[in-house]
Amino acid sequence: MNDPIPFLDLVSPHRELEPELMAIMQSALRSAGFIGGSMLQEFERNFAEFIGAAECIGVSNGTDALRFALIAAGVKPGDAVLTVANSFIATAEAITQAGAVPEFIEVDEDTYNMCPHSLRTYLEECPLDVDTGMRLGRRTGMPITAVLPVHLFGQMADMDAIEEIAQDFHLELIEDACQAHGAEYFSERQNRWRKAGSIGRAAAFSFYPGKNLGACGDAGAVTTSDPRIARDIRRLRDHGSATKYYHEVIGFNGRLDSIQAGFLDVKLKHLPRWNEMRRSAAARYQAMFETVRGVITPFEPVQSKAVYHLYVVRLSERNVVQERLAAAGIGTGIHYPVPIHLQKAYAELGYRKGDLPITESFASDILSLPMFPEISARQQQRVVERVAEITECIPRSDIAANA
Ligand SMILES: *Cc1c(COP(=O)(O)O)cnc(C)c1O
């Protein structure tokens, strides 16, 4: 029997970095520098520079990063925020935590990201509040104040188009870049490549261990080039205070630990290389799947450089394929089995099956294959051969019966 192939490998990169990470730990212990301080500032400076934003504010996790970004951008109770249902639930949770209500826009069938055409049509069909000039959410009747696209699986949404729509409808634009550290998009409007996290008023990153840049625990950050937003988020993450024990607003305990910031700074130096390795692995999968019928591989538009946080294919009889891959020692995932608008937690929004047909169509046939920087061509070959074997030997009648 061949060695198992994990869905992702968090052990070997840390083994390699152990001496550097232990040095961070030791320096924190010896100085008792656990909160704030130079390790945090150093990482914030380096991450902002990497993204191409003026500022980075380290926070407790990606969900808090989204929540703080929304609040600082002015989203408040009684607002509606447009986002997608094809994401991790935290995207919507952050909107709810800011006191607003999400309304979901349909996604593009090829990229799985927010469809700009659907976004514009949706807004045009929302009633206009003549007093304020704002659109009122079609489902909630609340003023739509922001749009929150997600750069899903490591590929950026169509930001030129979304940015233009946000301007046309006076919406704040916040990016969920939690899966897109280092992803790039060629902006025709600006005639240059732009990174995820450098376009909206603010952007949220997660450094959950499995992300392309992951901490050794929970961590996150907001990037922004608006000094007012940066100042507000620095206050929000620290009990609404800029000076200790003087609280200007009611905030949160949402800081990034110094040790995690130190770890992240060590790992940030490797991120460009890791992302390139993921891109090479994706190109290999793409070539290997060329001869396998019935498997839809990820689509990367010419204006996009994806960083493949996940490598998601679509195929029929997904559950059978997943079970048989597991039996062969190959780890996979499903991102995500239930779109947010159909989650029990959001039942009160009143969405029904059929409201977002494209979004809903993914749940039954998506499969995330093993993807991490160190995955070898041999391992990938085995994954592809297995998938080919399994899909070939599912009798055609089974597929038709379950379609
Ligand atoms: C991981 C993730 C989040 C939340 O980040 P946490 O650090 O786990 O809070 C939000 N949105 C997306 C798209 C994510 O993948």
- CA of 177 relative to ligand 1 center, distance in Å: 9
DSSP state of 220: E
Average pLDDT across the chain, whole number: 96
Within this chain, do residues 158 and 302 fall inside the same structural domain, yes or no? no
Q: Which of 202, 234, 268 lies at the terminal end of a domain, its last residue?
A: 268
State the residue range of the domain holding 326: 272-401
Q: What is the mean pLDDT of residues 74-87?
A: 98
Sign, Cα dihedral of 61, 193, 8, 268: negative
Q: Domain with 160 in it: what CATH number?
A: 3.40.640.10
Assess whether 340 and 362 both reside in one domain.
yes
Q: Which amino acid is at 61?
A: N
What token pair was written down for 102?
Answer: 């999400």
Domain assignment of residue 6, yes or no: no
CATH of the domain at 283: 3.90.1150.10
* pLDDT for residue 131 is more than 80: yes
- φ, ψ dihedrals at 227, nearest 5°: -60, -30
The answer to whether the beta carbons of residues 122 and 375 sit under 8 Å apart is no
| Percent with pLDDT over 90 in the chain | 96
Per-residue pLDDT of 245-267, as tens digits, reads: 999 999 999 999 999 999 999 99
Question: By the 8 A CB rule, do 307 and 181 touch?
Answer: yes
At 45-76, the pLDDT tens digits run 999 999 999 999 999 999 999 999 999 999 99
Phi, psi of 402 (to 5 degrees): -100, 0
Residue 152 CA: which ligand 1 atom is closest?
13
For range 135-164, the mean pLDDT: 97
- Which residues' Cβ are closer than 6 Å to ligand 1? 61-63, 87-88, 90-91, 150, 176, 178-179, 206, 208, 218, 220
222 shares its domain with 343: no
Determine the residue type at 345. A
Of 268, 291, 311, the position where a domain reaches its end is: 268
Residues 68, 208: one domain?
A: yes
Provide the 8-state DSSP code for 25: H
Q: Whose CA is nearest to atom 5 of ligand 1?
A: 62
The answer to whether the beta carbons of residues 82 and 128 sit under 8 Å apart is: no
Angle between helices 116-124 and 159-168 (to 10 degrees): 10
pLDDT at 395: 65
Residue at 388 is within a domain: yes
Cα maximum dimension of the chain = 70
Closest CA to 179 of 214, 145, 148, 146: 214
Q: Are 154 and 309 contacting, i.e. CB atoms less than 8 angstroms apart?
A: yes
Q: What is the pLDDT of residues 101-127, one digit of tens each?
A: 999 999 999 999 999 999 999 999 999
Structure-block tokens of residue 306: 């994806």
Q: Which atom of ligand 1 approaches the CA of 61 most closely?
A: 7
User: Could you say which DSSP state residue 170 is in?
Assistant: T
Tell whether 205 and 281 lie within a shared domain.
no
CA 66 to ligand 1 center in whole angstroms = 9
Name residue 176's amino acid: D
Residue 293 in 3-state DSSP?
A: coil
Whole-number Å distance, alpha carbon 88 to ligand 1 midpoint, is: 7
Q: How confident is the model at residue 1 (pLDDT cuts 50, 70, 90)?
A: low
Distances (CA, A) of 177 to 51, 270, 306: 11, 19, 12
Percentage with pLDDT > 70 across the chain? 98
- Considering the domain boundaries, does residue 1 fall inside one? no
The whole-angstrom separation of Cα 181 and Cα 50 is 9
Domain assignment present for residue 336? The answer is yes
125 alpha carbon to ligand 1 midpoint, in Å? 30
Mean pLDDT value across residues 129-137: 95
Q: Does 336 have pLDDT greater than 50?
A: yes
CA distance 359 to 3: 35
Same domain, 248 and 282: no
Q: Are residue 139 and residue 179 in the same domain, yes or no?
A: yes
Nearest CA residue ID for atom 14, ligand 1: 178
> Containing H/E element for 101?
strand 101-105
Query: What tens digit of pLDDT does each residue of 323-334 get?
Result: 999 999 999 999
A 10 A CB-CB count for 16 gives 12
Q: What residue owns the CA closest to ligand 1's atom 2? A: 178
Domain count, the chain: 2
Pocket test for ligand 1, best of 81, 86, 88 (most atoms within 8 A of CB): 88
Contact 183, 157 (CB under 8 A): no
Give a yes or no: residue 3 inside a domain: no
User: What Rg, from alpha-carbon coordinates, does the chain have?
Assistant: 22
Out of 212, 238, 268, a domain closes at 268
- Look at residue 128 and tell me whether its pLDDT is greater than 90: yes
**What is the rounded distance in angstroms from the CA atom of residue 119 to the CA atom of residue 208?**
29
Do residues 234 and 306 both lie within one domain?
A: no
Residues 6+ apart with CB under 8 A from 262: 24, 27, 28, 39, 43
Q: Tell me, what's the pLDDT at 396?
A: 57
In 3D, which of 69, 76, 104 has the Cα closest to residue 174?
Answer: 69
Asked if residue 307 and residue 395 are part of one domain, the reply reads yes
Residue 90 CA, closest ligand 1 atom number: 10
Other beta carbons within 10 angstroms of residue 342's beta carbon come to: 18
Output the pLDDT for position 58.
98
Residue 214 lies in a domain: yes
Q: What is the pLDDT of residue 403?
A: 43
Q: What angle do CA 219, 102, 64 make, to 5 degrees?
A: 15
257 found inside a domain: yes
Residue found under tokens 């232990």 = 22
Same domain, 278 and 259: no
Residue 5 counted as domain residue: no
Q: How far apart are CA 269 and CA 17, in angstroms?
A: 11
Residues 246 and 281 in one domain: no
Tens digit of pLDDT for each residue in 290-330?
999 999 999 999 999 999 999 999 999 999 999 999 999 99
Higher pLDDT, 155 or 398: 155
> Ligand 1 test: best mutation among 60, 63, 107, most atoms within 8 Å of CB?
63
Q: Are residues 52 and 180 in the same domain?
A: yes
Q: What is the pLDDT of residue 394?
A: 72
Of 238, 295, 333, 250, which Cα lies nearest the Cα of 5?
333
> Residue whose CA is closest, atom 10 of ligand 1?
90
Residues 393/319, Cβ–Cβ less than 8 Å: no
pLDDT for 392 = 85
| Calculated CA dihedral for residues 55, 59, 62, 67, nearest 10 degrees | -90
149 DSSP 8-state letter: -
